[in-house]
Amino acid sequence: MAGASLPETGPEPRRSGPPPALQGTCISSNYSSSERELINRVFRLFETVTCLRLVPRTSEKDYVRITPTGRCSGEVGRRGGRQKISLPHWCLSFGHAAHELMHTAGFWHEHQRPDRDQFVRVLWDNIKPRHRRTDYGRRVWEELGEGSWLGPYDYRSILHYSGRGSAVDSTKPTMVARQGGVKLGGNGNLTDIDIWKINTQYHCWQRRVANSLYEFGDNQLGGRQGRRFGRTCGEGGKHEK
């Protein structure tokens, strides 16, 4: 977060009341109990440090399924109907789950912001072709929606790739900061700016910034216990498509 600080104010709210993005959630029964607990720890973090509420799905037609099928991915914002967050077993970690959940809350990759070229330089020749547009293409303002607001650039955001992501040659960088001595991504947890952006976007600035992220942030499958947020989606088969 070098050079970045938390402003005291933010944009006018775009919505009021509990945000709809994460209402109606379920976790695939194809995860082990320890894997489901890891996902629940991520849910507890979001509910502790932001105003987002993750309501277990009952019979909602609009809902979010977290499943081990597909590649590590999630859509940005709520799209309506059945929406999937894909967290295969090989990529399931606290950081990956928090990353995809923040996408579902409506946030794009930090390094794809319209103004990103002021902060980082993308080395296109070393990025695998299939990742160039989807993971590194610079977004335009029109894609972000009316009233969108970016806030301070956060090099260490949970939504910022490292400097060697999707590399053709992993010994060389794919992206470098224009500011010297800055490490890109690799944080594995929500930063203070991530939390501040969520709370500002949803107009709940009074929520505190976390001062105990260490309670939630390691990538081990055990850890802090608490209520379960995500109802299981079903026993495989048609439920897991």
Q: What is the pLDDT of residues 103-153, one digit of tens each?
A: 988 899 999 999 999 999 999 999 999 999 989 999 887 666 554 567 889
Cβ proximity of 35 and 238 under 8 Å: no
Distances (CA, A) of 12 to 36, 149, 155, 200, 240: 36, 10, 25, 9, 39
**Yes or no: domain 25-106 corresponds to CATH 3.40.630.10:** no
Helix axes 33-49, 94-104, angle to 10 degrees: 50
The answer to whether the annotation marks 109 as part of a ligand binding site is: yes
Q: Comparing C-alpha atoms, which of 71, 184, 79 is closest to residue 123?
A: 184
Among residues 100, 142, 215, 235, which one is catalytic?
100
The answer to whether the annotation marks 99 as part of a ligand binding site is: yes
- At 184 the pLDDT is 95
Give CATH 3.40.390.10 domain extents, the chain.
Answer: 25-106, 110-202
Stretches where the chain sits below pLDDT 50 are 1-3, 9-21, 147, 209-226, 235-241
- At 201 the pLDDT is 81
- At 100 the pLDDT is 93
- At 215 the pLDDT is 42
Has 100 been annotated as catalytic? yes
For 110-202, which CATH class? Answer: alpha beta
* Separation between Cα atoms, residue 120 and residue 2, nearest integer Å: 13
Strand partners, 73: 86
- At 6 the pLDDT is 54
Q: Are strands 63-67 and 231-232 parallel, antiparallel or unpaired?
A: unpaired
Distances (CA, A) of 232 to 64, 68, 206, 239: 11, 13, 32, 10
Give phi and psi for 82, each to the nearest 5: -80, 125
